[in-house]
Amino acid sequence: MDTESDQSSAPEQSIVEIWTDGGCRPNPGPGGWGCCYALKV
């Protein structure tokens, strides 16, 4: 494995954004959760 060429093809900076939300009714009780993520290269 040639690590020098592997590193040169990698992006210099990436940003990952993650949003989450969830809830239960009653609390504590059955619930639902979700997430959304974005990768900016």
Measure the CA–CA gap between 32 and 25, rounded to whole angstroms.
9
Predicted confidence (pLDDT) per residue in 29-39, tens digit: 999 999 999 99
For the segment 8-21, the average pLDDT, to the nearest whole number, is: 82
**For the whole prediction, is pTM greater than 0.85?**
no
Query: What's residue 8's pLDDT?
Result: 61
> Taking residues 21-25, what's their average pLDDT?
95
Instruction: Please tell me the distance from the alpha carbon of residue 17 to that of residue 32, in angstroms, as a whole number.
Output: 21
CB distance 21 to 33 below 8 Å: yes
Q: Which residue has the higher pLDDT, 7 or 20?
A: 20
Under the banding of pLDDT at 50, 70 and 90, the label for residue 19 is: very high
DSSP-assigned letter for residue 7: H
CA distance 26 to 23: 9
